[in-house]
Structure 1
Amino acid sequence: MAGSQRRIAKELAEITKDTPEGVTANLVDESDVYRWSILMEGPEDSPYAGGQFKLLLTLPVDYPFKPPALKFETKIYHPNVTNDDKGAMCLGILKSEEWKPSSKISAVLRTARSLLAEPNPDDAVETSIAEQFKNDRKEFERVAKEWVTRYASKRA
């Protein structure tokens, strides 16, 4: 377990020094390296632009041999994020069969933010939103922007 904590502390230091664009990461509690509070800005040129999303990154005690979990605490209208209070994100890099111990948290955060810019409707957890994304992009973008204003506005 001590090795896990060392690796996590090292990655937190790296992220603090070289923060992925549009992302801020802090420990939820200084005494617990396994829970990170993430603030993610919606990418420009996406329906999420201008939004600020809170996420929770939870690392397993056997990290890096098992992937972390990433969930949106801010509601978001997105085909790859569950539309419930769990806010679970379907992200390929976090799937057990795709996770590699050499993967880093910074890569997870970059991938998550890029999924905001480019949703993947073929790997959706919200199929109705994915269908809308594929078949009526204008309406998808309108609703996504409305949710940003309602739930993720920096003024909220």
Structure 2
Amino acid sequence: MRRENQNIVLHAIHKRVTHLTNYSFALCTISLSAVREAKNDILYCPERDRMQRTSRLKRELQMLSTEPPPGITCWQTEEQMDELRAQIVGGDGTPFEGGLFSLEIKVPERYPFEPPKMRFLTPIYHPNIDNAGRICHDALKLPPKGAWRPSLNISTVLTSIQLLMANPNPDDPLMADISAEFKYSKPVYLEKAKRWTEMHAVQNNKGGVETVDSVESRVQVDSVEAPVQPLARKREAQNVCQDKAEGEREPRSKRSCL
């Protein structure tokens, strides 16, 4: 009789513990779901992201106005608050010396959790910058392939691009042929980069710097009189004298920045 009573008590205890365990598990599941939903609300809140971006941009533009990096200016366009323009002065002792290079900056909605999108408007002869002005730089890409993090800002990225202009990275190019030139025929690269700077980035008496878009427009106008190569092959056309001396070459190879 006593053994039966013990079994009944043990069974009741086991049932109670099982019930409590299931109840606790259900509570934990509900709590985890609530945490996930709250996290998603925090991560994906367009209104909050816009407000944060606006506040951040205001501080950054003020800093760029009062304490600009040497040789760099940046300002907001009148059309849209998420579009900026910047200018970088070519560094002394580089083939870009004396040039003024304009850049377009587009700030994504989730900035600073996503990097700004930047491209050169002024044509530039560089292994890490293609004919459309796109830039191959780690600071413009998210991890794991890139190095962007919210603690960076537009000023630091522009400074990094200024350093990239002076110190190209031939091992991760956008223009493979220019990269080969930089690695194996550096005097040729320096001469061509200097010539491009003089043609496109040096302000003339009329006051104005040629941009990628203006080059494309000029090519389209000139094509009425004579066939002209597309902008993507314009480097060959402008270096034709050099190419004659070097002999016929294969079309310029290009690879995506990884």
TM-score by length of 2: 0.58
Residue identity opposite 2:186 in structure 1: R
CA contact (8 A) 1:9 1:33 kept: no
SS at match of 2:53: helix
Q: CA deviation at 1:33?
A: 2.5
Residue identity opposite 1:143 in structure 2: K
1:49 aligns with 2:97: yes
2:130 to 67, 78, 82: 82
| Corresponding residue for residue 39 of structure 1 | 87
1:105 aligns with 2:154: yes
For structure 1, the residue ranges without an aligned partner over 5 or more in a row are none
The C-alpha deviation readout for 1:41-66, integer Å capped at 9, x for no partner, is 10001000001111011110110000
Looking at structure 2, the residues matched to 44 and 54 of structure 1 have their Cα atoms a distance apart, in angstroms, of: 17
| Corresponding residue for residue 107 of structure 2 | 59
Mean Cα deviation higher: 127-136 or 96-105: 96-105
Higher strand fraction: Structure 1 or Structure 2? 1
| Corresponding residue for residue 73 of structure 1 | 121
For structure 2, the residue ranges without an aligned partner over 5 or more in a row are 1-49, 210-258
| Moved segments of 4+, more than 3 Å | none
Q: CA deviation at 1:32?
A: 2.6
* C-alpha RMSD over aligned residues: 1.0
Give the structure with higher Rg (CA).
2
| Corresponding residue for residue 11 of structure 2 | none
| Corresponding residue for residue 232 of structure 2 | none
Higher RCO structure, 1 or 2 (CA under 8 Å, sep 6+): 1
1:119 to 145, 168, 191: 168
Q: CA deviation at 1:120?
A: 0.8
CA contact (8 A) 1:37 1:57 kept: yes
The C-alpha deviation readout for 1:63-121, integer Å capped at 9, x for no partner, is 000000110001000001012xx210111111111210111111001001011111111
Query: How many residues end up aligned between the 2 structures?
Result: 153
